[in-house]
Structure 1
Amino acid sequence: MTDQYWALPDGISEALPEESWRLENLRRHLLDIYATWGYQMVMPPLVEYMQSLNTGIGSNLDLQTFKVTDQLTGRTLGIRADMTPQIARIDAHKLKTEHPNRLCYIGSVLRTRAFNEDGSRSPLQVGAELFGHAGEDSDFEVLALLLTTLKQCQVPQITLDIGHVNIFRSLAAQAGLTAQQEKIFFDMLERKSLPDIDAWLAATKLPAAEAEMLRQLPRLYGKPDLLEQASLVLAAANPEVQAALAYLASLVARIQQEFPDCRIHVDLTELSGYDYHTGIVYAAYAQGSGREIARGGRYDGIGKIFGRARPATGFSTDLRVLTRYWQAQAPQPTKIFAPADTDPCLSQTIQQLRAQGQWIIRQLQGDTVKTPQDAGCGQQLIKHGNEWIITEV
């Protein structure tokens, strides 16, 4: 069997010319949008020490990270699987402003396992993070920027699945769950296994009011008006739960007002990233897609290990996924064919045209390309007297 040296590893992709131009043009388009919102672009390195990459994002990221040994120091490096910790490091250690800091990024990440629907282990991660503000305004701004991003990419019928991790976290504390019990219950919530939850609560000696609220929690999902029902069902909950419900209701109302076409699904057991999120958490879906196309939430305190524990909220998505919906075609000049001629006037003409943004394909001596059509050109340079002029093919 002949070795297939051209084959790529599973889940690793490349972009050929047409797709590359689409990706690059969408990248520029999104960065231009983010700039109008005041978000500054940063470009963190592809590899960092593992201690930095794992900060505050939970154990799952460690499993997703490819690890290599630095031949200069012998220390373990990681190839980034998520850019969020890097952006937090930049905010906390490099920029050091006391004011709100808005940062955006687009770059490749590499993961040991795929969790996108297309099986990709090398997404082009797009994201925006807002540091230094802990209120509803910053959560709303980041969510609005995400929804604007998806609308600009022409994502059809966006559904936003939103929750608040402090509802379960505070209920678990009120019920007196041990760390192990909280972990067991969290696993059942993730699976939405109602029979297991009912049986577990029946067998666990918890106060009746708290047990009932925990039993009802996985049943509290649906349209935004569900939050009114949740306030009644969780009326005996502590002030932290009530504050989280009120916060969620206020935020959802603002989203509905500014983005009336966005479908909102409230799920009080939406707990993705539970080990590091500290407030709202959400995922966005497109019509016809069973998997999320974007994710975000609040994760205050992530910069603590870098010397500054800052409030933080942000989102991320995948540029390759967004290009599936983006129908805009970037204008491309007609390619102009230049013959293999050493005339200095031709070289000067080519330089002038390229400076104007024209695409010039210059024939090479002995090249197999004999005609403009061979080079995919719709125009050509022809000598007329002492000048080289453009003519249609």
Structure 2
Amino acid sequence: MQTWQLPEHIADILPERARQLESVKEQILALFRVHGFELVHPPLMEYSDSLLTHIDTGLSLKTIRVPDQLSGRQLGIRADITPQVARIDAHLLAQNQGINRLCYSGSVLHAKPDGFLTTREPYQTGAELYGCTDTAADIELIDLMLKSLKTGGMANTILSLGHIGVFRAIATAAKLSDSQSNQLLAMMQTKDREAVRALATSWQLDDIWTNALALLPELYGGREILQAAKQRLPQLSSVTQAIDVLEQVCAAFPEQAIHIDLAEVRVDNYHTGLLYAAYAPDHHDAVARGGRYDGLGAYFGRSRPATGFSFDLRVCGEYLAASTRPEAVRVAVADYTKAIDKINELRGNGICVVVDYGVADNSGSLKRLVWQGNKWLVQ
């Protein structure tokens, strides 16, 4: 094995791509800032208990664990920044009883890739809003998500909406156990209506609940799906409330392409209500995901309503134009000390100045800093 080889689904980011990603990162963080979101930098590693690995099966499988040689406790390398931000809101910012708007951008590490073409080291970027139960907060975050993706080169996105509350209301009414609910949650992702029906039938559920569960994989499409859901699903108050929330979101984005999927009930245990995602042309999976996760902070000592989204900044690189290296000015190594004041002036104005050692390099610069007419000039 070559010592320079990296693990599977792990890759270096080379200069052109790195310039591109850092540039779009700056723009997106600036966008977050003008919308009132404050930047936080949670640590890459924490005690594994703090990363919710023991209460979220999906997250647990993604988390890499190592022993801490200082404390003897188990450490986890973060696989998701959202729980860390919930900890910050619940504990470090507990003095604020109102709304906290927080954002972040940093690497996470997955034990296994989510798919054949995905990296194990996404550059997770996102925003979270704590302290508001109103659907208007979800709408604010969805709007910010779409603006962020547009900044990252993805203008023609499709907004996908779901609501975990629909499934959970039916599961509760049918008196399903946690184990049964989890089996159906996984099955819903495949849209296999007959498999859902067969499993529900084997549990001898009442027909009304068996039919409702088997119907969910069919309830996907455009905005008209919500009317069909109202007519065909059981008249449970929680189902009605969930559909009302979805209708409010649809009304807030009249010009946006929207896809409704009531079987979109992803396996993150901490999500509690509205689910939203964005899809871009020619991409195999969602380019951003978010949703409501009320009460997650209770694990850290303060239960708070919350909604937020995140995406892998690396995906933006696939949609952005190639980044060119800034043009540089060369200065001969023999002149460097004598020209230092001019060099500092140029660099202070954002102009790249490189030292010419007389050896070929990759700067590609044709401009030079020379002494002429008793002053330093760029030629």
Gaps of 5+ in 2: none
Larger Rg computed on CA atoms? 1
- Quickly say closer, same or farther: Cα 1:389–1:212, change in 2 above 3 A: same
Name the amino acid aligned to 2:313: L
Q: Which residue number corresponds to residue 335 of structure 1? A: 328
Deviation at 1:79, TM superposition (A): 0.9
2:173 is aligned to: 174
Residue 178 and residue 74 in structure 1: after superposition, are their counterparts in 2 closer, same or farther (change >3 A)? closer
Letter in 2 for 1:82: D
Q: For 2:81, give the aligned amino acid.
A: M
TM superposition shift of 1:273: 3.2
Deviation, 1:122, is: 0.6
- Please, what TM-score do these two structures have when normalized by structure 2? 0.94
Which 10-residue stretch deviates more, 127-136 or 168-177?
A: 168-177
Give 1:26 shift. Answer: 0.6
Q: Of residues 365, 368, 380 in structure 1, which corresponds to 2:359?
A: 368
1:284-295 matched pairs, under 5 angstroms: 284-295=278-289
Report what 2:142 is aligned to.
143
Equivalent position of 1:383 in the other structure: 371
Q: CA deviation at 1:368?
A: 2.2
The verdict on how the C-alpha distance between 1:161 and 1:333 changes in structure 2, with shifts beyond 3 A counting, is closer
Give the 3-state SS of the residue equivalent to 2:290 in structure 1.
strand
One-letter amino acid of the structure 2 residue matched with residue 141 of structure 1? E
Q: Which residue in the other structure is 2:130 paired with?
A: 131
Tell me which amino acid in the other structure corresponds to 1:106.
S
Given the alignment of the two structures, is residue 323 of structure 1 paired with residue 323 of structure 2, yes or no? no
| SS, match of residue 266 in structure 1 | strand
Cα distance in 1 for residues equivalent to 2:365 and 2:16: 16
- Report the equivalent of 1:45: 43
The code of the aligned residue for 1:354 comes to R
Following superposition of structure 1 onto structure 2, how do residues 188-203 of structure 1 map, counting pairs within 5 Å? 188-203=187-202
Q: Which residue is equivalent to 1:271?
A: 265
Shift of residue 181, structure 1, vs aligned partner: 2.9
Deviation at 1:205, TM superposition (A): 2.7
RMSD: 2.0
Indicate whether 1:208 and 2:207 are aligned: yes
Q: Structure 1 residues 128 and 343, CA, compared in 2 at 3 Å: closer, same or farther?
A: closer
Q: In structure 2, what residue type is equivalent to 1:358?
A: I
Whole-Å Cα distance in 1 between the matches of residues 58 and 207 of structure 2?
34
CA distance in 2, matches of 1:380, 1:326: 31
2-structure distance, mates of 1:117, 1:127: 24
Structure 1 runs of 4+ off > 6 angstroms?
A: none
Whether the 8 Å CA contact 2:47–2:74 is kept in 1: the answer is yes
Structure 1 residues 237 and 345: CA distance shift in structure 2, 3 A: same
Rounded to whole Å, the distance in 2 between the matches of 1:210 and 1:217 is 11
Q: Deviations along 1:320-372, whole A, 9 cap, x unmatched?
A: 10121123858x652111012257542222222222222111123xx524xxx
Distance 1:61 1:249 in 2: 30
Over 3 Å counting, the alpha-carbon distance change for 1:213 and 1:71 in structure 2 is same
Correspondent of 2:343 among 350, 359, 362: 350
Q: TM-score, normalised by structure 1?
A: 0.91
Contact 1:130 1:138 in 2 (8 A): yes
Distance of 2:317 and 2:92 partners within structure 1: 32
Distance 1:284 1:168 in 2: 21
Q: Paired residue for 2:304, among 307, 310, 332?
A: 310
Contact 1:337–1:379 (CA under 8 A) maintained in structure 2: yes
> Which letter maps to 2:45?
V
The separation in 2 between residues aligned to 1:84 and 1:361, in whole angstroms, is 41
Per-residue CA distance 1:267-316 (angstroms, 9 max, x = gap):
11110135221101122111122211111101111111211011111111
DSSP-derived class of the 2:333 partner: coil
Give the Å deviation of 1:151. 1.7
Tell me the residue number matched to 2:352: 359
Whether contact under 8 Å (1:270, 1:282) holds in the other structure is no
Amino acid across the alignment from 2:364 = G
SS in 2 for 1:292: coil
> In 2, Cα distance between the equivalents of 1:108 and 1:207?
47
Residues of 1 paired with 2:100 and 2:322: CA distance?
31
- Identical aligned residues as a percent: 38
